Amino acid sequence: MTELTEPLFKKAVVELLYQLADDDFILAYRGSEWLGLAPHIEEDVAFSSINQDTMGHAAMYYGLLEQLGEGDMDTLSHARGISERKNAVLLELPNGSGHYLKEPRYDWAFTVVRHFYYSHAKKVKLESLKHSSYEPLAHAAVKISMELYYHLMHWTVWFNQLMNAGGEAKRKMLEAISRVEQDFLDVCSLGPLSAEMASLKLIDGDDALMQAFHENMKPVFDALFIPYKGEFQQHSGKGRYGEHTQELHQALATLTEVYRTDPAAAW
């Protein structure tokens, strides 16, 4: 194992952990906004379980950052400003129009597609992280993979069922796919230190991860008789470089509302 005393190694580990933590943190939040609004009660139960797992994964990554001396996990998750956030921009985008407490008109197709694509990308990263040269991260990847297995299964069922239903459902799903692909490059990117992360064997590089992702996705599309293009863009900004939308501002304002009233207090 490469030593943490090497500054570049530590810098790359920290950078990677922020991306992983912030991705799960913000997507768990978007998921939790659906609470009580899912298409049926059974889905409400299942989806909130997934959100809880995902928030738990974020907590594990923030915990690893805490061990590296980055600060305590609540400060890391609640007190960092928007330009310090490393999550992919796709994951911060709202679920639809309206507010989670007022007139929410959320888009289930967008939610299914975003979670389905994200779960696949997360799986590809975790498979690589299981062999990471940073051992605590490799251990975390094994644990997280066990839960992700069920998330992926869940979103696969929804993805296939809605695509197969035809009609309005399929139309909405195809729209959602094109929306998600417009910003999916950011999810697959490892940001400014991606070459270092790969050479230090923390995780495979961008290209290898992207190739693995395509290999997983293509059979899904083939089975649905839909051409898989796999051409992704990043229209709304590069989250790994700290570029974010106004939506993240609002999300963080909600997520930290109580915390900010007294960050020093015990809650």
Residues of this chain that interact with other proteins (CB under 8 A) are 29, 32-33, 35-42, 44-45, 48-49, 51-52, 55-56, 58-59, 62, 73-74, 77-78, 100-106, 108, 161-162, 164-170, 172, 254-255, 257-259, 261-262, 265-267
Q: Give me 64's structure tokens.
A: 């690893």
Residue closer to other proteins (CB basis): 111 or 132: 111
Q: Give me 129's structure tokens.
A: 């992280």
- Cβ of residue 102: shortest distance to other proteins, in angstroms? 8
Residue closer to other proteins (CB basis): 150 or 259: 259
- Cβ of residue 175: shortest distance to other proteins, in angstroms? 12
Residue closer to other proteins (CB basis): 67 or 161: 161
Q: What DSSP line would sit under 160-220, residue for residue?
A: HHHHHT-HHHHHHHHHHHHHHHTTHHHHH--GGGHHHHHHTTSS--HHHHHHHHHHHHHHH
Residue in the structure block whose two tokens are 């907590």: 59
- Cβ of residue 238: shortest distance to other proteins, in angstroms? 25
Residue closer to other proteins (CB basis): 11 or 171: 171
- Cβ of residue 54: shortest distance to other proteins, in angstroms? 10
d(CA 206, CA 197): 10
d(CA 196, CA 193): 5
